[in-house]
Every structure is written in C-alpha cells, then in structure tokens.
Amino acid sequence: MIIIIGLGNPGEQYKNTRHNVGFMAVDEFAKKNNFPEFKLQKKYNAEISENEKIILAKPQTFMNNSGETVKKIILKNNAESLIVIHDDIDLPIGKIKIIKERGSAGHKGVESIIKSIGNEGLIRFRIGIKPQNRIYNIQNTKKLVLEKFTAEEQDIINQTISRTIGALDLFVKEGLDSVMNEYNK
C-alpha cells in the first residue's frame, strides 16, 4: 500500500492558502485518478480516499499536529511507501523538490511527523511557496503561510500541482529513483 499524505489546515478559512498546497495536491491527484470522494474517518482524524493500491489522507489535526494522524494511519495499514506532500517556504513558488529521510528544516507539520514516526523511509514532495517579489523574514513566516495566493501566484501553483501529480503518477509506476531523476533538476 502506498500512503500519500497531503498536509494542510482544515476549515474554509485556510482553503487555498500557501500552507494548504499539500491538500490541494492530493485533491487533484484523487480527481485525476478517479478516487472516491474523501470522507472523514474519525479513527484517523483525517479525510481519506483510497483504492486497492493507494491511501490518500488529509489530516484534520491542523498542521502542527499532523504526526498524530500519520502515526495512526501507518499503524493500521501495511505501508510499502509513505509520501508526505507539503509547502516549503525555502523554495521559490513553482519549484518542486523530492527528498527522502531528511530533517524537517523547521516545517512544523513535518517535525510533528518525524517526532511521531521517525523519518526512515519518509519521502517528501516539497512544493515551493516563497513569493517571487516579496521579502519576508522569520517573524512574518507564520502570517505568510496562512495567506492566499495572488492571482498570478495561483496560476503558478496550479501548474506546480499539475507537475506534482505527474511526479506522483511516475512514482506509482516506476518508483522513487525515476521521480527524483526526472523532477529534481
């Protein structure tokens, strides 16, 4: 079973914010691959959609507690691979970086997951959300990640999510090495 976790915050007020690109990516992957509608599964505290090979999950714990949900899903399912898709403020908007078994680099959702399950075998699809023409500092990072994208940025993110879906499809067909070779350029 491949488990794909999209990170984000639940609730209408967070929809289409920078922090929710993980949710956006799993929603699009589900749509493109004809997954059933997401349903809240209280045992995981996550919205889940699955087929015979893949579980898609959107934790409903809020970003900083994502590890609670991921641990529950991992304990109840035989995972051959775990992929976490999340925003990355250190990457420029539109950039995708795929990594395995790395530290959190300060991302609180990833930090929560690593504290809960470790990072052995953990594959991450990092989606850049850093604004192109704006300076930010560590003090306003929290505010920035909860902002919605500008119209121009939304176009870039839509294209980036399409590329992320292509990367996920390639992962499912050919594995991690092929994806990293193709998308980490």
Q: Which two tokens stand for residue 184?
A: 């980490």
Q: Which residue has the tokens 């306003």?
A: 140
Alpha-carbon distance 109 to 115, whole Å? 10
Q: Is 144 exposed, middle or buried (0-12, 13-18, 19+ CB in 10 A)?
A: middle
Which residues have C-beta within 8 Å of that of residue 91, sequence separation ≥ 6? 97, 126, 127, 128, 129, 130
Per DSSP, the three-state class of 94 is coil
Active site residue 19: yes
Start-to-end C-alpha separation, the chain: 28
Among the listed residues 18, 19, 107, 108, the single catalytic one is: 19
Q: Which two tokens stand for residue 69?
A: 């949900």
- CA neighbor of 160 nearest in space, from 106, 86, 82, 68: 86
Kindly list the catalytic residues: 19
